[in-house]
Chains A and B, each alone.
Chain A
């Protein structure tokens, strides 16, 4: 097959990493357009290397292509250099596989994993010649459908999408595509199709709903504009995760991507209930994949890709009940193939230290802990069920196994945080350093002294968490806190062994605005894009000045979304959606957090969060 590229050689020779735009990778699928009915284009709105690291994209790509009547292709955001050329020369955005116009597709599916990609979404629409506003589109334009965690508060970008798919993508697409085929063959209007789509489970069609505001700016009502569509949309959830579609032949990129390995999703959801964590709530309840199926999958993945590293993916892998069995299997299988194993998201305990020392070079790698808060008081507030004893014991095990590098992750700006809590981060880091000198006698310190890297990010309250009522800290406060911590680190005995890194403040504030935003933010997002904001997730290209200018010109007071204290009975922009966990439960958790009361995890006790209504996973297991 001789594919003709959309970009001429002279353009490809000028841009950075031209292989981003050529397609043709191993396991990429090219179907004859004449042999299928539906053309679906899957998009990750960031550059190729980021998008191709996302397992969700590979799952949906494989799933759509497994439908005999559908062909699915990919598109990613052109990098800044190509973006400029495409605008100058009027080159329409194209898919990787067939190198044809995105505009000609039936569906454009965009996965929305983080708020900082919103301007990139507009770039994709703009370069594809798709009207930015859903209301302006015709049957000439693809149906623009969004999925992923940000759909749990889609309101700031609701204007730009025809449909949002709330929840896990494996369940309802077949129904949607069948409806589409029916409607197209019967000649129904685009709006009629969308109205029918709104009746399918998990589908939110923003154009068919209206929001009203009170004088104080909070939401007064949210209601459907047509009859027969739900006023409340529950998420879609895969009930039998072991049999759900999972690709055993993911695409193998030519160039180095961020996650350059095959990924095995071992379970979905999490039992822990940390109060700041949105993912933990959205994907409840935890559902484990059958271990024998995983072993088989791992082998097929390696056979079909030839990748040199395999990774187990889940929110908290230590909680997977058959982890030991699976890891032992992998160590043996991969040993024979000279394949590396990556085990992220592990609690540091006997098993994990033993496993990690088998698969990693203790001299070259580091062990990561995420205490998130420095003091036990704060850890109880956020319900991170890990004690100082756990942490020090784990660190000691790691040191005894030969590691000298420890990475620690914390957050600043958590609700109720005091100066002492912040200083405790430094004290804890120091205690870990001291543990090294205690655990490892001088003659055994062959890999040099301990090196601790303490990193902090700034807390952003998210929808569907207990902290959705919490005010976010402001920029100045973030900076003060980072400074306080820096001083506290310098004051420690082992301060030479501790390196402190902190996250950008500006972008955390923007994330805070968008995360709990409403429809009134759309004009500002569009304006920021038109002013040239793009790749906001990248520190080199993030333009805080243009963003703040845009909010200002649109008459938006951003503190309404960030630092304002929410009343307990306030209606949130996302209240019409459900992730399973009830608002009442989250409210109770918010109040408990203020008392520092710990809530046990799902494996220890059912706390009646509401996700039990799906009747799956841990909710139906006997404890």
Chain B
């Protein structure tokens, strides 16, 4: 079974590991017939598509579970929603055909929507800057070279930062006065962080960004169906 859920409000401060354990308990409360692993300390056979950072909300994240028996997708969705906490909702439940790769390995892209928490808008200067940034031939994200720094081999100005051209991994991106929306690579090798893009735009416009004032909302997770990107619950 693949379960699509949303997470909004105060519960966004529950980190991924805690959230997994919360879901395990919810499944028990809902009395779903989930399968357990063998051995002396059995655990539920469950895997999340990807982790959600603390403070990040989602309209659509996913987890897969293996069940011994199922009733109907509607029934399972209802039973889960009857025991959900404030701010968490099960949006969809689908049965996965035999042999479907698990959620984690399927994730190819993610959609995001970012907005300013204090209700302010993105300025015209920012919107103009975004057009320049997003339309240029290359979009460079500077990342700290953690590996070199860890080994004590980081040389300032030489290899302390890695430059990553993410142009090809941004499939859609637009800044309006209310939102910054984008669809980007979310695979483990090529993951693009939307905050990095927004920081680039602010930097181009010469404005200061307050990351703590930006709310990140994941709008959905996508996999490849042939050449096309489809939501993870599109079976």
B-contacting residues of A (Cβ < 8 Å)? 1-3, 5, 9-10, 12-13, 18-19, 22-26, 252, 254-256, 302-308, 337-338, 340, 361, 363-364
Contacts and interface: CB of A to CB of B under 8 A. Distances in A.
A305 B29 contact: yes
A252 B26 CA distance: 10
Nearest to B213: A10
Interface stretch (B11-19, B102-110, B137-145): B11-19
B25 A306 contact: yes
Given A18-B54, A25-B85, A10 B14 contact: no
B122 interface: no
Given A26-B83, A361-B41, A337 B117 contact: no
The A interface, classified by DSSP as helix, strand, loop or mixed, is: loop
Nearest to B86: A24
Given A10-B212, A24-B10, A26-B26, 5 more contacts: A9-B212, A19-B15, A19-B18, A303-B31, A305-B29
Nearest to A23: B10
A338 B13 CA distance: 29
A24 B26 contact: no
Nearest to B13: A18
Contact of B18 (A5, A9, A23, A254): A254
27 contacts: A3-B9, A5-B10, A9-B212, A9-B215, A10-B213, A13-B55, A18-B13, A19-B13, A19-B15, A22-B11, A22-B14, A23-B10, A24-B10, A24-B86, A25-B85, A26-B26, A252-B25, A254-B85, A304-B29, A306-B24, A306-B26, A306-B27, A306-B83, A308-B25, A338-B36, A361-B41, A364-B40
B10 A3 contact: yes
B85 A361 contact: no
Contacts of B27: 306
Interface in B1-40: 9-11, 13-15, 18-19, 21-22, 24-31, 36, 40
Nearest to A339: B28
By Cβ-Cβ distance, the 7 closest A-B pairs, closest first, are A306-B28, A306-B25, A306-B29, A10-B212, A22-B10, A18-B13, A361-B40
A9 B117 contact: yes
Most buried by B among A19, A252, A302: A19
Most buried by A among B15, B28, B31, B87: B28
A254 B11 contact: yes
A26 B88 CA distance: 11
Nearest to A260: B21
B101 interface: no
Most buried by B among A9, A18, A361: A9
B26 to A, nearest CB: 6
Contacts of A364: 40-41
A337 to B, nearest CB: 7
B146 to A, nearest CB: 21
Contacts of B40: 361, 363-364
B21 A256 contact: yes
Contacts of B226: none
A24 B87 contact: yes
Nearest to A304: B29
Nearest to A360: B40
Interface in B76-90: 83, 85-87
A378 to B, nearest CB: 39
B139 to A, nearest CB: 26
A565 B26 CA distance: 56
A114 B11 CA distance: 32
B42 interface: yes
Contacts of B19: 254
Contacts of A303: 29, 31
B159 to A, nearest CB: 30
B29 A255 contact: no
A307 B25 CA distance: 6
Nearest to B37: A338
A306 B24 CA distance: 8
A381 to B, nearest CB: 42
A5 B24 CA distance: 26
Nearest to B214: A9
Nearest to B29: A306
